[in-house]
Chains A and B, each alone.
Chain A
Amino acid sequence: MLIRFEVNGSAVEVEAEPRLTLADCLRHQLRLTGTHIGCEHGVCGACTVLVDGDAVRSCLMLAVQAEGAKVTTVEGLSDDAELTPLQKSFRKHHALQCGFCTPGMITTAHALLSEEPDCDAARVREVLSGNLCRCTGYIPIVEAVLDARAAYRDNAGGVAGKA
C-alpha cells in the first residue's frame, strides 16, 4: 500500500505492506535508524516515537496506520549541529552507557516534558517505567530528565517548531 505521512517535518511517501510496523518502516524504508528495536512486542520502549505529539511504541503500530500522521523520531528533535537541552542533560548526567535504550528514553521524556514541564521525580519514574535500560542506569536517567525541565518551561525544550 502507498502511504503518505510526515516524518520530522518532511512529507514522505512509502510503499508498505500492511504487516510492516512503523518501527521497521522508519528504519528500513526511511533509513531513520535512530529508532531502535529491542523486544519487538511492546515491552522495552526502545522504539518509542511521537505520533501527532503522543509517545507511542512504533513496533505496536502498523506503518499503514500512520497515514496522514505527523511522526517525530529522535532524529527530529535536534538539528545536526547541536543537541537539545534534554540530550545535553543526558550527557551531563551520564544517563546512558551502551545507549541502545537512549532514543526511546529521549523521545518518551520529550513527550512527558512537553506536556508536563513541572513533573516530579515520581512522575518521571512512572512514565519511564515503560522503558527498559539493561545497563541499570535509571537513577542518572531520572536526574537528566528532571534537570531538563527548565528548558521545557522556557522554550519547549529547544525544539519548538520541529516536534
Chain B
Amino acid sequence: MKLPPFEYACPTTLPEAVQLLAAREDAKALAGGQSLVPMLAFRLTQPTLLVDLRKLADLRGIKITETGVRLGAMVRWRDIEDDARLSTAHPLLQAAIAHVAHYQIRNRGTVGGSLAHADPAAEMPGIALTCEAEIAVVGKSGARVINAADFFTGALTTALAADEIIVEVRLPPWPQGRRWGFQEYARRRGDFATAAAAVFFDEDASGRARNAHVGVIGVADRPLRLANVEALLNGQTIDGGTIAKAETATAAAIDPPEDIHASAAYRRALAGTMVERALQQAGK
C-alpha cells in the first residue's frame, strides 16, 4: 500500500531532532527506515511527522576501546559486517549481525532502528540483552543510559520515551579467549528467526565455565536471558552431558508463542537445539 501522509523534517543537530520529536505527540524518528517504512506501508503506524536522523553525524561510527564496543545508532548492518576489528573486538556481535535481513536491507538498516523497533525475533536486541549492553539515549529532559535488561518491555515496545532518540549502544569489553556461539534457524537466511540462541562464557584455570550468558530470540514477546541455563553452566566443563542439560533446561524455561510459522512445541524444541548447537560451537 502507499504510505499514509506525514510531514518530514531532516534536522542537522541532535538537540534540534529532540525538539522536533518533543513538539509533536505522534512524531517518529526515522533511521534506516527498513522496519518503519513497511509499518507505514501496512498502515500499522501513522505518525504525522517523521524526523529523519540521517544528517546527525554524532550517531555514526563504531568505537572500539578498552571500555568496549560503542555502536552509533545510525551504524548500519553493513558497517558491522565490513569492520575487520570486530572479528576480535566482538565476534559474537559480528556473527549475529550476519543473520540480519537481506543484502539491500543491510545497506540501510541500523542498530538504533532495530533496538527502537524491538522485534522479538531480531538479532540486535538479543545481542544487546545477552551482552548486558547499555543504551544511551537523549530526550528533552536530557541524556540517560538504559540497561538492555530494562529496555525491551514487550513486542515492539521499549522504555524509550516519545521524545527520546537512541544515540549509541555500548557493549562491554570482550576478553580474548572468551568462548561463544550464535545459532539461528530461519526458513530462509535473512528472514526473522524462528528461534536463535547467543551464548558466551569465560573459563577458569581448570577449564570450567564461568560468567555464562545465554540469550534467546524469537520465543517470547521480547529477547530473553535464561538465568537457569546460565546457573547450570557456571562451574561446569562444557561437555556433551552439560550441553544436553542446557538444552533441556532451555526448553523448560520458555513459553513460546504459536503462529503460522511454528507451533509452541516446535519453537520450544528448536530453542533447545539452538542453545545446544551454540554451546557446541563455543566449545570448538
> Is the CB–CB distance between B41 and A130 below 8 Å?
no
> Is the CB–CB distance between A130 and B104 below 8 Å?
yes
User: Is A112 engaged at the interface, CB distance under 8 Å to the other chain?
Assistant: yes
> Is the CB–CB distance between A65 and B103 below 8 Å?
no
The one of A17, A108, A129 in contact with B188, judged by C-beta atoms closer than 8 angstroms, is A129
A31-78, CB < 8 A from B: 40-42, 45, 48, 54-57, 59-62, 64-65, 67
The one of B5, B37, B50, B189 in contact with A60, judged by C-beta atoms closer than 8 angstroms, is B37
User: Is B266 engaged at the interface, CB distance under 8 Å to the other chain?
Assistant: no
Which B residues are in CB contact (< 8 Å) with A62? 8, 30, 33, 37, 50
> Is the CB–CB distance between B34 and A60 below 8 Å?
yes
User: Is B15 engaged at the interface, CB distance under 8 Å to the other chain?
Assistant: no
- Mark the stretch among A18-26, A83-91, A152-160 that contacts chain B: A18-26
The one of A19, A40, A128 in contact with B6, judged by C-beta atoms closer than 8 angstroms, is A19
Within the complex, what minimum Cβ distance (angstroms) separates A111 from chain B?
A: 8
User: Is B283 engaged at the interface, CB distance under 8 Å to the other chain?
Assistant: no
> Is the CB–CB distance between A65 and B33 below 8 Å?
yes
User: Is B240 engaged at the interface, CB distance under 8 Å to the other chain?
Assistant: no
User: Is A1 engaged at the interface, CB distance under 8 Å to the other chain?
Assistant: yes
Known contacts A57-B104, A60-B108; decide if A18 and B41 are in contact (CB<8 Å): no
> Is the CB–CB distance between A61 and B108 below 8 Å?
yes
B21-51, CB < 8 A from A: 30, 33-34, 37-38, 40-42, 50
> Is the CB–CB distance between B37 and A42 below 8 Å?
yes
> Is the CB–CB distance between B8 and A60 below 8 Å?
no
User: Is B264 engaged at the interface, CB distance under 8 Å to the other chain?
Assistant: no
CB nearest to B102 among chain A residues: A130
Looking at A41, A48, A65, the one whose CB has the most chain B CB atoms below 10 A away is A65
CB nearest to A60 among chain B residues: B37
The one of B30, B50, B103 in contact with A130, judged by C-beta atoms closer than 8 angstroms, is B103
Which B residues are in CB contact (< 8 Å) with A112? 103
User: Is B1 engaged at the interface, CB distance under 8 Å to the other chain?
Assistant: yes
Say what secondary structure dominates the interface of chain A. mixed
User: Is A126 engaged at the interface, CB distance under 8 Å to the other chain?
Assistant: yes
CB nearest to B76 among chain A residues: A54
Within the complex, what minimum Cβ distance (angstroms) separates A110 from chain B?
A: 12
Within the complex, what minimum Cβ distance (angstroms) separates B228 from chain A?
A: 36
Which B residues are in CB contact (< 8 Å) with A30? none
User: Is B3 engaged at the interface, CB distance under 8 Å to the other chain?
Assistant: yes
Interface range, B side: 20 to 34
> Is the CB–CB distance between B189 and A129 below 8 Å?
yes
User: Is B2 engaged at the interface, CB distance under 8 Å to the other chain?
Assistant: yes
Which B residues are in CB contact (< 8 Å) with A20? 3
User: Is A127 engaged at the interface, CB distance under 8 Å to the other chain?
Assistant: yes
Which A residues are in CB contact (< 8 Å) with B30? 62
Q: Roughly how many angstroms separate A60 CA and B41 CA in the complex, as a whole number?
A: 9
> Is the CB–CB distance between B52 and A41 below 8 Å?
no
User: Is B190 engaged at the interface, CB distance under 8 Å to the other chain?
Assistant: yes
Q: Roughly how many angstroms separate A40 CA and B103 CA in the complex, as a whole number?
A: 17
B147-206, CB < 8 A from A: 188-190
Q: Roughly how many angstroms separate A24 CA and B1 CA in the complex, as a whole number?
A: 12
> Is the CB–CB distance between A54 and B107 below 8 Å?
yes
> Is the CB–CB distance between B41 and A48 below 8 Å?
no
Which B residues are in CB contact (< 8 Å) with A19? 2-6, 40
**Extra pairs beyond A1-B8, A19-B2, A40-B41 (11, CB < 8 Å):** A19-B40, A41-B37, A42-B37, A48-B104, A54-B107, A55-B104, A55-B107, A57-B34, A60-B33, A128-B103, A130-B102
B residues at A contact (CB < 8 Å): 1-8, 10, 30, 33-34, 37-38, 40-42, 50, 52, 54, 78, 101-105, 107-108, 188-190
CB<8 Å pairs between A and B, sample of 26: A18-B50, A19-B40, A42-B38, A54-B108, A56-B107, A57-B34, A57-B104, A60-B33, A60-B37, A60-B108, A61-B33, A61-B37, A62-B30, A62-B33, A62-B37, A62-B50, A64-B52, A65-B54, A111-B103, A126-B103, A126-B190, A127-B103, A129-B102, A129-B103, A129-B190, A130-B105
